[in-house]
Amino acid sequence: MMTHQGLKFPFSPFFFEGGEMLVVFDLDGTLTPYRQGSTGPWEAKLLPGVAEKCEELRHHGVMLAIASNQSSRRPRSEIVAHLIWARRAIGARCVRWSTTPGRRKPAPAMILEIMQALGVSPSETLFVGDQESDRQAAESAGVRFAWASEFFG
């Protein structure tokens, strides 16, 4: 564990060796409790450790964003409400979601859009997720990847 300005940095391998300025998160199972098929009711609740880690990242000038696959069976109003809540909960600068094959992860589209919107390059970006499709999306976008269980662990 490294310290910097008196703060603990459990994520130091990523941020001092890679220099990421942007961390993009998956939503379900990464920031918020996993919901089977992503169609169950959502709770206004972050997983343990998420709020603290996100606050620490923002404190050090790291931009946060969310890229979320969504089910087309979910009402659009509910998707939007969920994502607005999540954006506020972690202080994300940018959110993208999709129900469309070819744009949903494992496609890199949402990650690429977020990097473009925030003016950040792939070498400055880390993607954090809990599914193989997240890892594949990060690889296709040319950004580094971390499993949520390790990132927040």
* Contact window for Mg ion (CB under 5 A) among 13-21, 80-88, 117-125, 131-139: 131-139
Whether 144 and 138 have beta carbons less than 8 Å apart is answered as yes
Indicate the residue among 70 and 131 with the shorter CB distance to Mg ion: 131
| Number of residues binding to Mg ion, judged by CB under 5 A | 5
Tokens of 104: 């949903």
20 binds Mg ion (CB under 5 A): no
Indicate the residue among 68 and 125 with the shorter CB distance to Mg ion: 68
* Contact window for Mg ion (CB under 5 A) among 2-10, 23-31, 91-99, 110-118: 23-31
Residues 6 or more apart whose Cβ sits within 8 Å of residue 111: 24, 67, 125, 127, 137, 138, 141, 143
Interaction with Mg ion in 41-60: which residues (CB under 5 A)?
none
Whether 103 and 72 have beta carbons less than 8 Å apart is answered as no
29 binds Mg ion (CB under 5 A): yes
Indicate the residue among 9 and 147 with the shorter CB distance to Mg ion: 147
26 binds Mg ion (CB under 5 A): yes
Q: Which residue is it, tokens 């809990």?
A: 130
The nearest distance, CB 130 to Mg ion, in angstroms, is 4
CA nearest neighbour of 60 among 1, 105, 12, 110: 12
Question: How many CB atoms sit inside 10 A of residue 33's CB?
Answer: 12
130 binds Mg ion (CB under 5 A): yes
Element containing residue 7 per DSSP (H, E): strand 7-9
Q: Which of 15, 21, 25, 28 binds Mg ion (CB under 5 A)?
A: 28
Q: Which residues bind Mg ion (CB under 5 A)?
A: 26, 28-29, 130-131
